[in-house]
Amino acid sequence: MFSKRTRLYTNFNLLNFFHIIKSFFLRKKNFQNELQNYLGTNNISLTSQGRSALYEIIKIIIKKKNKRIFFIAPYTIPAVIHAIKYAGGEVVYIDLDKSTGLIDEDKLETKIDKNSAGVIITHLYSSSIHIEKFLERFKNKISIIEDAAINFGAKSNDKYLGTLADYGFFSFNIVKNLNTLNGGAIYIKDNQTFHEYVTKKKHDKFPALNTINLLITIIILKLFFNNTIYQLFHYFLVIVYKKKINFILKKIYPILFHNYEEEIPKTYSYDFNWIMNDVGIYNLKKIEKDFHERRNKAMIYSKLINNQVAIKYDRFSNDNALLEYTIILKNIDNQKAHVKLMEEGYDIRHTWYINNYSKEKNEKNENFNDTYLVENKIFCLPLHNNISEKDIHKISSIINSFV
């Protein structure tokens, strides 16, 4: 009977409501200090969001170098591109390498010149070998910024992603593995630059109304997307997808509706929401345990899914946090795969990131062939607590039918 499942899930749990109350009256430890200890560096500062951390990084680099051109693969969330522009940067797209998930090294090499300010690498499904090779090739040539938004806790040679290059940023929003409802963090390698940033940092207090709205969102997620109620809510989602009811789809896939606004969002001026201090500390303690549970599920997918239907990236040695298990479908597009799985009761993510080049230019360009392929073929399989081994077997069986 209870056979239908959804990818929508948040690690924010009922106990975290107690941690919010606790933060009002008794705050023995500081989340930022705990985060610094975990990541093994003092050069970490909390921000209101991951995108606002990138915004600060771009401003720092522009001021230091008096250069504005930043390279990035177009396969990312629009908010990243917007943050660069809000900070005064100019975006130049370079195709990603589908085999590594990083920006194409050879194409980047040909683009770097005296006007280049930085490059943003998005940690999708890259391995330690790919990451270290990239960093070695481009260190001292250009400022390297790591987007570790979906890979908090992953490591490369015993150092955490997001702290390997010149700069890094993290996201702790409601669907991330380290969850503080909203929030992020910035990493700056150079001690003097970090000290200058922290000294001059002035932000407004995070609004209480925003916190209330986030808590309402969490309650809705917990209510409608638990395994029991979802048996009925699934049919409502079927209608939402078929009828393309946008005001609901905006909540499920916000990246598809994220448009550039001329004015910088107010959230960029906010400080970290310190009401979430104890929530962050508690969830940070669970990071390793949660990762091992996700890895075990990902390994089952990898074992069950046939090589003839998908390319599988076996990143199981701590170099990917496995928020979800990503594969690249060979014989079917992810949108069509989503429809087929939806018919079987499984709402699997049909869009991860988007091709910002094609969205902005409204045209296809052969210089971004790998980006188009990944955008249309990548499939993100759920690993959260509401997904059982039985579910994984059924999902894998359905995917194996895509011959």
Residue 86's pLDDT is what? 97
Question: How far is Cα 88 from Cα 212, in angstroms, rounded to an integer?
Answer: 32
Judged against a pLDDT cut of 90, whether residue 23 lies above it is answered with no
Give the C-alpha separation, 81 to 367, whole Å: 19
Report whether pLDDT(27) > 80.
Answer: no
Closest listed residue to residue 125, CA positions, set 48, 185, 163, 73: 73
Q: What is the mean pLDDT of the chain?
A: 94
For 137-144, what is the mean pLDDT? 96
Query: Which pair of tokens denotes residue 51?
Result: 């995108």
Q: What is the CA radius of gyration of the chain?
A: 21
C-alpha to C-alpha distances, 245 to 218, 237, 250, nearest whole angstrom: 21, 10, 9
- The rounded percent of the chain whose pLDDT value lies above 90 is 85
DSSP 345-357: TEE-BS-SSEEHH
240-279 pLDDT per residue, tens: 999 999 989 998 899 998 888 889 999 999 999 999 999 9
Q: Which two tokens stand for residue 151?
A: 């890979």
Question: Tokens at residue 105, please?
Answer: 């090294």
Question: Above 80 in pLDDT, residue 16?
Answer: yes
pLDDT at position 105, please?
97
Phi then psi dihedrals of residue 85, to 5 deg: -70, -40
For residue 270 the two structure tokens come to 């906010």
Section 368-387 average pLDDT = 95
Report CA-CA distances (Å) from 195 to 32, 42, 43, 53, 198.
15, 10, 8, 15, 5
User: Residue 193 pLDDT > 70, yes or no?
Assistant: yes
Give the residue-averaged pLDDT of 46-52. 97
Residue 372, CA distances (Å) to 6, 31, 107, 309, 377 in order: 26, 39, 16, 18, 8
Give the global pTM.
0.95
**Looking at residues 81-96, what average pLDDT do you find?**
97
Structure confidence at residue 212 (pLDDT): 94
* Residue 109, number of CB atoms within 10 A of its CB: 12
Nearest CA to 70 out of 56, 95, 91, 85 is that of 91
Buried b / exposed e along 139-174 (16+ C-beta atoms within 10 A):
eeebbbbbbbbbbbbbbbeeebbbbbbbbbbbbbbb
Instruction: Please give the angle made by the CA atoms of 79, 159 and 379, to the nearest 5 degrees.
Output: 45
Asked if CATH classification 3.40.640.10 holds for the domain at 18-200, the reply, yes or no, is yes
Q: Check residue 336 and give its pLDDT.
A: 97
pLDDT of 283 over the 90 cut: yes
Among residues 183, 199, 158, 191, which one has the least CA distance to residue 43? 191
Alpha-carbon gap, residue 403 to 401, rounded angstroms: 6
What is the pLDDT, as a whole number, of residue 2? 66
63-89 average pLDDT score? 97
Q: Which residue has the tokens 């407004």?
A: 204
Please tell me whether residue 229 adopts helix, strand or coil conformation: coil
How far, in whole angstroms, is CA 243 from its chain's centroid?
28
Q: Which residues of 240-252 are buried (b: 16+ CB within 10 A; e: fewer)?
A: bbeeeeeeebeeb
Give the model confidence (pLDDT) of 285-332 as tens digits: 999 999 999 999 999 999 999 999 999 988 888 999 999 999 999 999
pLDDT at 344: 94
